[in-house]
């Protein structure tokens, strides 16, 4: 069966510090991968998605970047965190199919609560 | 944007009562999905309804879709305290070739024992 791992669960970082959140998926090959951010009491904002190694699409301009160094590994990074980067970050995957498949189900990780102080 | 909007933002009911949540969206879709999120956790997929379907059932869940009104509803029957969570609708975009889902802000459901 497929599983998704996301860590850390909680992170408190000072403004200006770097960030690295990691997400890995097991039990499937070539999944579509996603990073979402959820501000308190708000919906989910899609940050990045990837349909393959090295293929990253960004939804919104921001202080963050994403990389996919391996098929089932997705990393969210920042060189210098801002206060506005605080939020709940969720990694998710969907079955493979590249860009031209309409997503019918997302499987989410357990999330990382990031507080930038 | 395509983002769906759930209504109401918060709903508080007693165990055994039914809970109804609504979702509206803006553009044509292929499917609409409902997810559940327990506090501080990831989202869990509940049910998908395709644009050519009008109603779907899964256990105590009933979802309807009205594409002419661009709206959907999620009914949870005979609610339990364990149903307390946030519920989100998510839509794709028929006009897009990219595999993205757009989420609303959610309905916070509280079920009192």
**Which among A57, A100, A108 is the nearest to B43, CB-wise?**
A108
Average pLDDT value for residue range B18-32: 92
User: Residues of A with CB below 8 A from B102's CB?
Assistant: 46
Residue A84's nearest CA partner among A33, A56, A45, A49 is A45
Q: What one-character-per-residue DSSP string does A1-54 give?
A: --EEEEE-SEEEE-TT--EEEEEEEES-SS-EEEEEEE-TTS-EEEEEEEEETT
What pLDDT score was predicted for residue B101?
85
For chain A, counts of helices (H) and of strands (E): 0, 11
Q: Report CB contact under 8 Å: B97, A99.
A: yes
Q: Is residue B32 classed as helix, strand or coil in its secondary structure? A: strand
What pLDDT score was predicted for residue A62?
77
Residue A37's nearest CA partner among A90, A77, A78 is A90
The sign of the torsion formed by the CA atoms of B2, B5, B6, B10 equals positive
**Which among B3, B40, B99 is the nearest to A32, CB-wise?**
B99
B45-55, pLDDT tens digit by residue?
999 999 999 99
B98-108, pLDDT tens digit by residue?
667 888 889 99
What pLDDT score was predicted for residue A61?
65
Residue A43, phi then psi, degrees to nearest 5:
-75, -175
Q: Which two tokens stand for residue B23?
A: 């979702």
Shortest CA distance from B105: residue in chain A: A43
Site from B43, B99, B100 to mutate, A interface, most A CB atoms within 10 angstroms = B99
What pLDDT score was predicted for residue A37?
94
Question: d(Cα A66, Cα A69) in Å, to the nearest integer?
Answer: 10
What pLDDT score was predicted for residue B2?
54
**CB atoms near residue A53 (< 10 Å):** 14
Q: Report CB contact under 8 Å: B42, A109.
A: yes
B30-89, pLDDT tens digit by residue?
889 999 999 989 999 999 999 999 999 999 999 999 999 999 999 999 999 999 999 999
| Per-residue DSSP letter, B27 | S
- pLDDT tens for the 117 residues of chain A, in order: 889 999 999 999 999 999 999 999 999 999 999 999 998 777 888 899 898 898 898 887 678 999 999 999 999 999 999 999 999 999 999 988 655 566 778 999 999 999 999
Q: Report CB contact under 8 Å: B43, A90.
A: yes
């Amino acid at each position: 069966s497929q599983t998704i791992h996301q860590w850390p669960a909680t992170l408190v970082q000072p403004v200006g510090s770097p960030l690295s959140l990691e997400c890995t998926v097991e039990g499937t090959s070539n999944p579509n991968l996603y990073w979402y951010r959820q501000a308190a009491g708000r919906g989910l904002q899609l940050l990045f998605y990837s349909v393959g190694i090295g293929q990253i699409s960004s939804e919104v301009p921001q202080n963050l970047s994403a990389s996919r160094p391996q098929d089932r590994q997705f990393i969210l990074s920042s060189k210098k965190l801002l206060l506005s980067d605080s939020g709940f970050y969720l990694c998710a995957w969907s079955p493979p199919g590249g860009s031209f498949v309409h997503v019918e189900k997302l499987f989410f990780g357990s999330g990382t609560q990031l507080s930038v102080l | 944007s395509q983002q769906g909007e759930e209504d109401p933002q918060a709903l508080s009911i007693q165990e055994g009562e039914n809970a109804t949540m609504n979702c509206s969206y803006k553009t044509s879709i292929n499917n609409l999905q409902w997810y559940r999120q327990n506090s501080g956790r990831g989202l869990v997929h509940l049910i998908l309804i395709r644009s050519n379907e009008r109603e779907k059932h899964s256990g105590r869940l009933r979802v309807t879709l009205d594409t002419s009104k661009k709206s959907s509803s999620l009914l949870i029957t005979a609610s339990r305290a364990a149903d307390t969570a946030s519920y989100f609708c998510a839509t794709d975009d028929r006009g897009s070739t990219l595999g993205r889902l757009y989420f609303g802000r959610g309905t916070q459901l509280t079920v009192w024992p």
